[in-house]
């Protein structure tokens, strides 16, 4: 929650949005849990909320891309889900994919800024593009979610 509060206090966030979100953040928020089974991956994407907390130990294939701009599907800006294998290979070959620093024993949580921060800040706070490589273990590709709203 501290990361979300600090993000909302950024100078680029309009005061009306800041006040609305800060007043509601403890009462109305969405909590999603994603679990990646061995051999499961997830294509490059931005998460939809304000921020995302990732447990690195649960997804050893996690990679981040901090490039300024990446090509997206022409008719769907921001959509990196290509169906054609050759184009998917080009996405995987993009520069800038790297694993985050190894977690410490005390804390393996990585907090990323998500897409809502970009929207609220009028693009001043970019989200972090990330993926989970499917080749970190053997198995079937795909991802699942559990959603809670409070």
Express each pLDDT in 51-60 by its tens digit: 988 877 655 7
How confident is the prediction for the chain on average, in pLDDT?
75
pLDDT of 125 > 90? The answer is yes
Q: How confident is the model at residue 102 (pLDDT cuts 50, 70, 90)?
A: confident
Per-residue confidence (pLDDT) for residue 149, from 0 to 100: 42
Per-residue confidence (pLDDT) for residue 97, from 0 to 100: 84
E strands in the chain:
30-35, 42-45, 51-55, 62-65, 97-98, 109-113, 129-132, 144-149
Per-residue confidence (pLDDT) for residue 76, from 0 to 100: 58
What count of residues does the chain have?
150
Cβ atoms 49, 116 nearer than 8 A: yes
């Amino acid at each position: 929650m501290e990361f979300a509060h600090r993000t909302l206090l950024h100078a680029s966030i309009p005061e009306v949005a800041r006040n609305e979100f800060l007043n509601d953040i403890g009462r109305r928020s969405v909590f999603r849990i994603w679990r990646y089974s061995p051999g499961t991956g997830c294509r490059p994407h931005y998460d939809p909320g304000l921020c995302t907390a990732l447990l690195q130990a649960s997804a050893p294939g996690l990679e981040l891309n901090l490039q300024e701009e990446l090509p997206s599907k022409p008719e769907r800006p921001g959509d990196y889900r290509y169906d054609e294998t050759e184009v998917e290979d080009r996405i995987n070959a993009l520069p800038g994919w790297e694993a985050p620093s190894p977690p410490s024993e005390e804390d393996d949580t990585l907090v990323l800024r998500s897409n809502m921060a970009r929207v609220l800040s009028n693009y001043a706070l970019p989200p972090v593009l990330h993926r989970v490589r499917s080749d970190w273990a053997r198995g079937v590709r795909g991802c699942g979610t559990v959603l809670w709203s409070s």
